[in-house]
A and B are shown apart, each in its own frame.
Chain A
């Protein structure tokens, strides 16, 4: 096996220049995902060109304004937790805590977790419902997109040639009920794994905003806007009639999912949603963050 060519840029400009020259290069920062996918004691199988970007200071920055938190794509997960534990939305920090164990969190980066080509990992669901935005940069331009726009409907990366994730912007919005649950391990049990993220605002026993997203740890993500509209504006606790309506609506959305989502995953998703809807009430419960 021939050796890969590895570039280790130390600035964004150097990265942009090199990536423009080698647009097919693999961008690597924490390398945890690639390592977990290539099990066994053999060497790594890397493509011909690799851009190792973990030494670029601009991609390692975390900044905060009154309206949002901005995180460089190469910031390790553990540093985000250290800096943002008490200010970032709980649904997001809980998702970060659920990533493997401290040694992996010291290596893995947010950009890698979000931009994994074949899997929508822990942070994808929470950042989707938090309306987080991602900065995509390439030589001569940059643009901000919403998290779901990182991939096409069929699950392929929607990045243009030479584009890479440089920053993630998470808005500060107060949610009085936040919930996150991951089932299974995306790398060892992809057919039985999923994440469930939920945000709900309840004021005077009325749901003013409701958002839920499921990621099935393959390429499939389900955010059911019809369900969100149905639940918004309803009183808590939700009546049996509303819950049953929501159940059938959600069941039909699950049926529309592509074949890679297993029946087991669909059943778990439905049960999680049923439980969540039945547990919704005024924000005093310890079940929620």
Chain B
């Protein structure tokens, strides 16, 4: 099936089988190595992406679900100032996700900060409730996200 969609700001035209999961399409066919599917059941969160700005797990979607839509992955965030805000926030609060789950945690944080720059702790913990990797203390992570929001507010305010 032919697909046309936006991936990290670029228009992509590609072809895939209709039975292919989105995560496999993105990782195996388009080479996005930041996606680390491990459960294929929507439980671990390591394949999180932003679909039209909303956080979704790409293992639960068929590849054709991206037709005409816009996808942002870790690769699309890493070269932006948004990434700096998030990493600075994580660093300040000693939230250091492992390399396996870091991309997903960055994507989830980005989705939180796109909806509000002043998230509450409960809101952050709720957003991370669908992730599994126990590498990070979730309270540090929540504080890191809140701190990242502060960095971004400050940066946008200084403009």
Contacts and interface: CB of A to CB of B under 8 A. Distances in A.
Tell which of B51, B62, B64 has the most Cβ of chain A within 10 Å: B62
A55 B68 contact: yes
B56 A36 contact: no
A6 B63 CA distance: 11
Contacts of A220: none
Interface string B115-135: 000000000001101100000
Contacts of B37: 41
A253 interface: no
10 contacts: A6-B64, A35-B61, A39-B41, A43-B24, A44-B21, A46-B19, A52-B65, A55-B67, A101-B42, A106-B54
Tell which of A5, A36, A43, A101 has the most Cβ of chain B within 10 Å: A101
B20 interface: yes
Contacts of B21: 35, 43-44
B60 interface: yes
Given A4-B18, A31-B61, 11 more contacts: A28-B62, A32-B42, A43-B17, A44-B21, A46-B18, A101-B42, A103-B42, A104-B57, A104-B60, A106-B54, A107-B60
Query: For this complex, into which size category does the number of interface residues on chain B fall?
Result: 20 to 34
Nearest to B68: A55
Contacts, number: 88
Contacts of B126: 101-102
Interface residues of A, number: 31
A41 B45 CA distance: 15
A267 to B, nearest CB: 28
B55 interface: yes
A192 interface: no
Nearest to B57: A103
B95 interface: no
A93 B56 CA distance: 21
Interface string B23-61: 010000000000001001110010010010011110111
Tell which of A8, A31, A103, A107 has the most Cβ of chain B within 10 Å: A103
Contacts of A106: 51, 54-56
A3 interface: yes
Contacts of B129: 101-102
